[in-house]
Amino acid sequence: MRKLIPIFLILLGLGIGTGAGLYLRPAPEIAEDAQDSPPAPVLAAGDSLGTLEFANQFMVPLVVEGRIAAMVVLKLALEIPESQRDMVTASIPRLRDGLLQVLFDHANSGGFEGMFTDHGKMVPLRRSLLEAAQQMLGREAVVGVLITDMLRTGAS
């Protein structure tokens, strides 16, 4: 009987430990892709989705200690409903200004340093660009912002 008490206590401890571990385990993480995917665009009946590329590139200086250390050159395009093309085209100068401000803010916060093409840095940039475009033109006018080309020049 004396030999069974330690075995019983070990089994009881293992059972309590397993139960506590299962009860206190962390919640499963939501996949990043599920969080980052925007809702599907809602288009009017008979409308189709098209792209509008900006004619000129966006040039963003990377400033280090008051000097331009490098430049980032981007080419952007907008996903827009075809019915909104004329209105969006007429607003290109305003759009460029707003999108450039977002790019400057991203650069000033260190977004183009290190592994700047990493998914973790690109998702917030795309989201910020889309929010800025939708704030200027409306959610129904701009469905997405596409980064079609990106280049960082200089030593950074």
Using the predicted structure, report yes or no on whether residue 156 has a pLDDT greater than 50: no
Q: Which tens digits make up the pLDDT trace of 100-116?
A: 999 999 999 988 888 88
Using the predicted structure, report yes or no on whether residue 134 has a pLDDT greater than 80: yes
Q: What is the mean pLDDT of the segment spanning 137-148?
A: 90
Domain count, the chain: 1
3 state SS of 49? strand
How far is it, in rounded angstroms, from Cα 142 to Cα 130? 8
Residue 7 maps to a domain: no
Residue 141 maps to a domain: yes
Residue 26 maps to a domain: no
Residue 3 maps to a domain: no
Residue 69 maps to a domain: yes
pLDDT score at 127: 94
CA distances from 154 to 92, 113, 151 (A): 29, 12, 10
Residue 121 maps to a domain: yes
Q: Which tens digits make up the pLDDT trace of 6-57?
A: 888 888 888 888 888 878 777 666 555 545 555 555 666 667 888 999 999 9
Q: Which residue range is the domain that position 60 belongs to?
A: 33-153
Q: Which tens digits make up the pLDDT trace of 50-89?
A: 899 999 999 999 988 889 899 999 999 999 998 889 999 9
Residue 70 maps to a domain: yes
Question: 69, 74, 79, 56: which is closest to 117 by C-alpha?
Answer: 74
Residue 41 maps to a domain: yes
Find the CATH number of the domain harbouring 97: 3.30.479
Contact between 95 and 88 (Cβ < 8 Å): yes
Distance of CA 24 to the CA centre of its chain: 32
